[in-house]
Amino acid sequence: MLDFKNIIAEEVKKVTNIDNIYEYIEVPANKEMGDYSLPCFKLARELKKAPQMIANDIKEQLKFEEELISKIEVVNGYLNFYINPLALVKTVLEEFSNKQSEFGNSNIGENKTIVIDYSSPNIAKPFHIGHLRSTVIGNALYNIYKFLGYNVIGINHLGDYGTQFGKLIEGYKRWGKEYDIESNPIDELTKIYVRINNLCKEDESVLEECRNNFKKLEDGDEYCTELWQEFRKLSLKEFQRVYDLLDVHFDSLNGEAFYSDKMAEIVSILEKTGKLVESEGARVINLDEYDMPPCIIEKTNGSTTYATRDLAAIMYRARTYNFDKAIYVTSYEQILHFKQVFETAKLLGLDKKYTDGLIHVPFGMVQLKTGKMSTREGNIIKLEDLLNEAISRVSKVIEEKNSDLENKEEVAKKVGIGAVIFNDLYNSRIKDEIFDWDTMLNFNGETGPYLQYMYVRTNSILEKVNKIPNINTINVELLQDNASVNLIKEMYNFGSIVKQAADKNEPYIISRYLINIAQLFSSFYNENKIICDDKKMQEARIYLTYCTNILLKNGAGLLGIKMPDKM
């Protein structure tokens, strides 16, 4: 596909002899100011002239073929370029014809590996609404990087180790026979966890017993190990139902416990640096020079920490996957933790490539209207219940509005779960999310159901004609009305939008873009009669509808959302 921005940059470079022109060229927020704009004040220091004079000088020397650039204007030191609409229409439609479902993809990730650590629920605790964000953001990033040609490894770093298991083991020892764990494992184990946690608050000696249980688990105690294995097996079975609903898959389920035999090496390496020191009975890496608290490697009783296991994971992933980037998708509450871990990782003797490639992708919390959730307090909403509730609510809408719809259950599942995912990915990930059913399931707002509805509308049109025209028979000159050109201009940007989402690790960039495409198609649909008497006109508009159909489906797929054929 023609890269208009690069064409402009190369011609301007010839005139100015400045190499990084491409980086300076912008897409104006105001569409009336052109398709691309060069702010010439960025060149003033190098060219030693006023921006307005620079813009005029460059304009006079530029020579473009009119079929590519139809107009160049100077406005207040900006050099504005207008792409010939016919060239744009032809470029985009031909690219769709050549690439189909691969439209917008790239090979920039070729021979590069990205490791993404996401979801990571805690074993023996409910898979609740708070885990939704890590799961869907991580899954979207997995799809985005894959689309850009990277080798992507998705890792579910399960919370299957740590002091909480010492608590759970202690609670089970005391009251296990009172609970029906086999038939309802997570709920019953949660009750035990809440109960033992309350007792720990009242009695410090009980908390010490819990810590000792975890130390026994680390040391391979048979009873503690068998209990832990059973808790893990039962939990994974429960979690899988949620992953099946979300259609989320992982390449590795190596959780914290996987690194239990790999932490001794980490401790040994850190000891040899001379920077592993004692502090109040624990062993730590001092990070005062980075204005951070120390990174605790071993607790006072000799047991390890999250940080030790994360360091072992970094070492293992570097050796196993030879990653270019290792991305950690967790809440912003862990920002300090990862700063400490990433700084300490520089002491492990790894190639700088690996430590430079460590990236924390933080996100805001999911909150109920009543406030924050806590497993310890028993104040949670299970994710499986939430997803099923979304499906149930959509089912009721379908019964009211289209009770004869085929495959009602499948449509309700796609729309309900799509609504939950889209709601989570529509804003910058760092923002806290207040969970609101009315907003999420609105078919008219900037929501998942609206996006799916516009896709279904394109499907309906294509079904009526029952044949997609061949690109070679289409007269692209018939698609130069404003509504068509505006839609095609936005389609042209899809590849760069996906790259932006990857560069910033922000799936919402794609979500917002898809809403814009849907709205532009709505304008195109309302302003143009697609199925009409003029067969040449019909073929051109049908093909544009077909391109929109592909783009909406593929873009939603990057977010992890499935499109129903009918609604």
Q: Under DSSP, is residue 152 helix (H, G, I), strand (E, B) or coil?
A: strand
Question: Do the beta carbons of residue 92 and residue 492 sit within 8 Å?
Answer: yes
Distance CA 510, CA 497 (A): 7
Question: Do the beta carbons of residue 415 and residue 454 sit within 8 Å?
Answer: no
Question: What pLDDT is attached to residue 491?
Answer: 97
Question: What pLDDT is attached to residue 431?
Answer: 87
**Region 560-564 average pLDDT:** 97
pLDDT in tens, 271-321: 999 999 999 999 999 999 999 999 999 998 888 899 999 999 999 999 999
Question: Do the beta carbons of residue 74 and residue 80 sit within 8 Å?
Answer: yes
Task: With cut-offs at 50, 70 and 90, classify the pLDDT of residue 471.
Answer: very high
Question: What pLDDT is attached to residue 186?
Answer: 87
Candidates 392, 412, 333; CA nearest to 366 is 333
Question: What DSSP state is assigned to residue 326?
Answer: E
The overall pTM is greater than 0.85: yes
Task: With cut-offs at 50, 70 and 90, classify the pLDDT of residue 416.
Answer: very high
Distance CA 319, CA 325 (A): 13
Amino acid at 395: S
10 Å Cβ neighbour count for 180? 10
Question: What pLDDT is attached to residue 379?
Answer: 56
**Region 340-359 average pLDDT:** 98
Cross-sheet strand order for the sheet of 325-331: 151-155, 113-117, 325-331, 358-363
Distance CA 356, CA 39 (A): 33
Is the Cα torsion angle 311, 313, 318, 323 positive or negative in sign? negative
Candidates 328, 329, 320, 324; CA nearest to 354 is 324
Question: What pLDDT is attached to residue 370?
Answer: 60
Which stretches within 364-407 are classed as H helix? 383-401
Please give the radius of gyration of the chain, using alpha carbons only, rounded to the nearest integer.
Answer: 28
Average pLDDT taken over every residue of the chain: 93
Task: Report which of residues 124 and 55 the model is more confident about.
Answer: 55
Question: What pLDDT is attached to residue 368?
Answer: 63
Question: What pLDDT is attached to residue 181?
Answer: 87
Domains within the chain, CATH numbers bracketed: 4-83 (3.30.1360.70), 118-367 (3.40.50.620), 437-559 (1.10.730.10)
10 Å Cβ neighbour count for 98? 11
Q: Extract the tokens encoding 284.
A: 């730590």
Between 29-38, 41-50, 143-152, 376-385, the lowest mean confidence (pLDDT) is in 376-385
Tell me the residue ranges of DSSP E strands in 128-202.
151-155
Question: What pLDDT is attached to residue 80?
Answer: 96
Q: Extract the tokens encoding 311.
A: 């360091």
Task: With cut-offs at 50, 70 and 90, classify the pLDDT of residue 435.
Answer: confident
Task: List, in sequence order, every residue forming a beta bridge with 78; answer none if it has no partner.
Answer: 39, 75
Q: Which of 180-184, 230-234, 260-264, 509-513 has the highest mean pLDDT?
A: 509-513
